[in-house]
Amino acid sequence: MKFKSIKGTKDVLPDESHRWQFVEQTIRSVMHAFNYREIRTPVFEETAIFARSIGESTDIVGKEMYTFQDRSGTSLTLKPEMTASVIRAYIQHNLGEQQQLVKLYYLAPMFRQERPQAGRLRQFHQFGAEAIGSQLPVVDAENIALAAEIYRTFGMKNFSIRVNSVGCEICRPAYKQKLKNFLQKIFDKLSEESKRRFEQNPLRILDSKDENDRSLTASAPLMKDHLCAECEMHFEELKSVLTSLKIIFEVDGRIVRGLDYYTKTAYEIVSTDLGSQDALAGGGRYDVLVKELGGKNAPAVGFAAGIERLMMTMEKQHLFPDSSARPVFFIAAADDAGRRWAIQQAIEFRRHGISCDVDLLCRSLKAQMREAGRQAARYVIIAGEDELKQDQVKVKNMSSGEQTEARVSQLLAEAKRLHASP
C-alpha cells in the first residue's frame, strides 16, 4: 500500500525549503523592526474559542473546521486562524498587565477544510501581527504599514491595499437593517450562496465573487456611509495617517471580511498576479473580542497573510534570490586514512559554522568528486594517507578548476577565508 499526503496539504521538499527559510527570515526581520514580538500557541484549541470569536454563522465555523473529540470527550479544533488563539493566550497570561500596548506576531500552520484549488489549501501557513490595547487609529495605520512593508521588502509589485470601516455595535445594527431592506427587493435574483447569507450574515453578500450578485448590489447602501460619529472620526483619522505615511490605498466599501469579530477598520491586500484567490492578506480592528473571550476591555487590531500566496506571487514576479543551500566544502578521501580524517575535519569545520559534507558511503574518489559536483560544493578538499603524512592537502575550486595546497594545521583558517569570500 502506498501512502500519500492528505488532499490540500503539501510537502516542502529540500529543493524548496530554502525559499521558505528566506521568506520566514525576511518576515521576522521586518516584524522585529516594527517591535512586534513572536508568540507561538498550540496547533489545537478548545472548539468553543473559535465558535465564540469567529462566529457560528461564518464559513469557517459552519463548514471548514477540523474538529474532533479527544479520548476524554473534549471537543478540539485545529486552528483555522490565529487571532482567537493569540487572544486566549493574551488573557490567560495577563500580557496586558505588563504593558498597555502588546504587539505580537506569528508564523504558523492553519487548517481549513475548503475545496482545494490553486492558492487554497487545507493546511496552509500564515504570518500575522496583532496589536492589543489601543483604539487609536494610528495603531491600525502602523499595522497596515507593517503588512505593506513586508511586501515592499520582498520587492513585490502589483498589489493594492483596500480599506473600509465596518462600524461598531452602535452603528452596524441599523445599517444591517437598511442593507436587508435593499437586499429584500432583489432577493430572488441573488445567488444561492448569497440567499443563504441573507439572514445570518447579510454584509458578506457585498463581497460575493458572483458577477451577477455584484451588479445587483452595485447601488447597495455601504457601511462606510452610515457610520456613527465615533467610527467616522476613527476612519477619517486612519486615512489621514496612512496618507501621511505615503501608503497608497483605496477605500473599498465592499470589504467586510469573513469573520464576525471585526469593528471599525477592515482591510485587505490583494494581488493581480493571483487569479481568483487574489487575497494576500486581510485584517482589521476587533475592539470587543478580548472581552468576548473573557478578558478585560482591550481594543485591538491585526492582520493575517497567507505564506503560500505570498510565495506564488513572488514566484511569478521572480523575487526569489537564486541561491539554494549548498555546502561550501566537500571533503573527499583517497583512502581509509583519508576517510577517518575527513569525518573528523568535517565536524571541526561545522563547529565553526562552515557548511561541508563528506562521503559516508565509502565511495571511490572519482564517485566522491561526482557527488561534490552534484551537491554544487564550492571547494573540494582531497586527502589520503600520503597527503596527511606530508601535511599538504589539495583544495580544488570547483568553478575555476584551480587546485591549490593547504597545510592541515592551517586548514581551518584557510577554510574560514574561503568561506567568507564571495
Among 112, 234, 254, 285, the residue binding ligand AMP under the rule CB under 6 A is 112
CA 20 to chain centre: 10
Among 24, 114, 232, 292, the residue binding ligand AMP under the rule CB under 6 A is 114
Residue-wise burial string across 359-385, b where 16 or more C-beta atoms lie within 10 A, e elsewhere = beeeeeeeebbebbeeeebbbbbbbbe
Q: Around Cβ 391, how many Cβ atoms within 10 Å?
A: 13
112, three cell numbers: 481549513
Distance CA 360, CA 373 (A): 16
- Beta carbon of residue 110, minimum distance to ligand AMP (angstroms, whole number): 7
Q: Say whether residue 221 binds ligand AMP (CB under 6 A).
A: no
Alpha carbon distances (Å) from 409 to 77, 374, 412, 413, 414: 58, 29, 7, 9, 10
- Beta carbon of residue 405, minimum distance to ligand AMP (angstroms, whole number): 54
Q: Which is nearer to ligand AMP, 260 or 359 (CB)?
A: 260
Distance CA 279, CA 147 (A): 13
Q: Which is nearer to ligand AMP, 249 or 329 (CB)?
A: 249
Q: Say whether residue 282 binds ligand AMP (CB under 6 A).
A: yes
Distance CA 263, CA 289 (A): 10
Tell me the three state secondary structure of residue 76. strand
Query: By beta-carbon distance, which residue lies closest to ligand AMP?
Result: 306
Site for ligand AMP in 38-97 (CB under 6 A): 81
- Beta carbon of residue 309, minimum distance to ligand AMP (angstroms, whole number): 4
Q: Say whether residue 126 binds ligand AMP (CB under 6 A).
A: yes
Residue 356's beta-bridge partner residues? 329
- Beta carbon of residue 275, minimum distance to ligand AMP (angstroms, whole number): 13
Residues near ligand AMP (CB under 6 A), total: 18
Taking a C-beta distance cutoff of 8 angstroms, is the pair 106, 86 a contact? yes
Q: Say whether residue 252 binds ligand AMP (CB under 6 A).
A: no
Q: Say whether residue 10 binds ligand AMP (CB under 6 A).
A: no
> Can you give the binding site for ligand AMP, defined by CB under 6 A?
81, 112, 114, 119-121, 124, 126, 258, 279-282, 304-306, 308-309
